[in-house]
Amino acid sequence: MRRRFNSHIRCTVCLCVFSLLAITLVAFGAAGAMYDKIDQAALDARSGKLEQAQAALKSLLADKSTAVMAGYELGLIHYEDGELDKAMPLFKTALSTAFPGSVSGRDEQALTALLNQEEDASRIRYELGLLCQSKGKQAEATKLFRDGLSIISSQGATYVGVKKCKSCHFKQWSSWRKTKMATTFEVLKPGVRAEEKTKLKFDPNKDYTKDPECLGCHTSGYGIPGGYVVAAEGDAEAQKQAADNEGVTCEGCHGPGSKSIVIQEDIKENKRPYTFAELRAVGFQHADVRSCTPCHNPSDPGKEPGYHFIYEDNRTEDQHENIELKYRKE
């Protein structure tokens, strides 16, 4: 009698474990498929199928598991068109879904001091954004919201700097450093590109290397932990962090790498096959048009309103030579 009872329990436990596993697998698969849908819509939005993409993203807003990222992508479409007033509420709703309940109540000074910390990085930007918004600083608030969501989107990964990537990808690095992407920071120095600056109504003798209006697009990870910072004189650590993120670095296009390099180290050490989905799951980006449009958009002072970046025309020599991957499967 006792034995039968026990085996019954065992069976129930087994069944429970199995069904949990099955549910998890289905949920995982479903989440993966949802992300594929978001990615596809985000690509469509930038390749002429705007209405279709927006409809697809709006339908994903209703599902809890995709509401945050769908809201982010919808907001980004407007943000990258310079329509901050439309981006703002979408970003804000997405963040309030990610961080339901009341906010901590910390003041602006306390939050600003925490900006370069990894822990809670997206929530801190959300809270600081809310404070900025309440003080009428709309543009600043929208940027903070966007950064908070981009941190969620890259699974909290931070910037590690170009030297780390170089240590394993020397070939890509040596061709990248000859491209214009490697020197976008130089352009901001006084006297550089004087003629072009004059044409753009910039002061050719002014030093723009500390101007927050320029750094977002002429450096990598500005405003995100580990990314570019304006270093105070004598702060050696910040100076190193700045130097590692000058220009459009690897992470400027592939996304922050702190989490993916752990996997890449393992691939290298064990010479093992991998799929891109492994890297995607920790926020790594397969470089495509979405890697470019955060900078190549009408907010670039050199562009007219309504400007649209055409990937196919620009995906040429200005990234780096492409080298066949050895371990990547599918």
Site for ligand HEC, rule CB under 6 A: 160, 162, 164-165, 167-169, 172-173, 176, 180-181, 183-184, 187-188, 193, 196-197, 202, 208, 211, 213-214, 216-218, 220, 248-254, 257, 261, 264-265, 267-268, 276, 279, 286-287, 291-292, 294-297, 299-302, 314-315, 318-320, 322-323, 325-328
Give residue 100's region: left, alpha or beta (phi > 0; psi -120 to 50). beta
> Phi and psi at residue 193, in whole multiples of 5°?
55, 45
155 and 298 in contact (C-beta within 8 Å)? no
Pick between residue 95 and residue 162 the one whose CB is nearest to ligand HEC.
Answer: 162
- Which is nearer to ligand HEC, 92 or 296 (by Cβ)? 296
**328 - beta bridge partners?**
274
Report how far residue 213's alpha carbon sits from residue 34's, in angstroms, rounded to the nearest whole number: 35
| Residue for token pair 């992470």 | 251
At closest approach, how far in Å is the CB of 282 from ligand HEC? 12
Compare residues 99 and 284 and give the one whose CB is closer to ligand HEC.
Answer: 284
> Quick one: 81 or 127, whose CB is closer to ligand HEC?
81
- Minimum distance, C-beta of residue 270 to ligand HEC, in the bound complex (Å): 10
C-beta of 18: minimal distance to ligand HEC in Å? 33
DSSP string, 272-314: --B-HHHHHTTT----SHHHHTTTSSTTSTTS-TT----HHHH
Task: Work out how close the CB of 197 gets to ligand HEC at its nearest, in angstroms, rounded to a whole number.
Answer: 5
Q: Angle 64-79/2-45 helices, nearest 10 degrees? A: 10
Comparing CB distances to ligand HEC, the nearer of 92 and 143 is 143
- The Cβ-side half-sphere exposure at 299, using a 13 Å CA radius, reads 21
Report the C-alpha gap between 249 and 295 in whole angstroms: 13
* Least gap, CB of 21 to ligand HEC (angstroms): 28
Closer to ligand HEC by Cβ: residue 7 or 174: 174
Nearer to ligand HEC, 127 or 244 (CB): 244
CA dist 257 and 274 (Å) reads: 17
Judged by beta carbon, residue 4 or residue 326, the one nearer ligand HEC is: 326
Which position has the token pair 């996304």? 255
- To ligand HEC, the closest distance from the beta carbon of 199 in angstroms equals 7
Q: Assign residue 201 a region: left if phi > 0, alpha if psi is -120 to 50, beta otherwise?
A: left
Nearest residue by C-beta to ligand HEC? 257
Q: Give least dist CB 146 to ligand HEC, A.
A: 12
Q: How far is the CB of 109 from ligand HEC (least distance, A)?
A: 27
For 147, the 3-state DSSP assignment is helix
